[in-house]
Amino acid sequence: MRAPRRSSRWSRRRLQRRGQYDSYLNSAAWYRKRQQWYFQWQQETGTEPVCAVCGRVWTLREGHLHHRTYARLGRELRPDVIPLCATDHAQLHDLWDAHPSWRTTGRATATLGIIAALRRQRRANGSTSHVPAQTTNRQA
How many domains does the chain contain in total? 1
By the 8 A CB rule, do 30 and 65 touch? no
Cα dist from 6 to 30, 69, 131, 132, whole Å: 29, 24, 33, 36
Indicate whether 15 belongs to any domain.
no
Indicate whether 99 belongs to any domain.
yes
Indicate whether 66 belongs to any domain.
yes
Indicate whether 4 belongs to any domain.
no
By the 8 A CB rule, do 123 and 55 touch? no
> What pLDDT tens digit does each residue of the chain (140 aa) get?
455 555 556 678 878 888 888 999 999 999 999 999 999 999 999 999 999 999 999 999 999 999 999 999 999 998 999 999 999 999 999 998 888 888 889 999 999 999 999 999 998 988 655 544 444 433 33
66: three-class secondary structure by DSSP: strand
Indicate whether 85 belongs to any domain.
yes
pTM for this structure?
A: 0.80
pLDDT of 7 reads 52
Indicate whether 94 belongs to any domain.
yes
List the domain range (segments joined by +) for residue 98: 34-139
Indicate whether 52 belongs to any domain.
yes
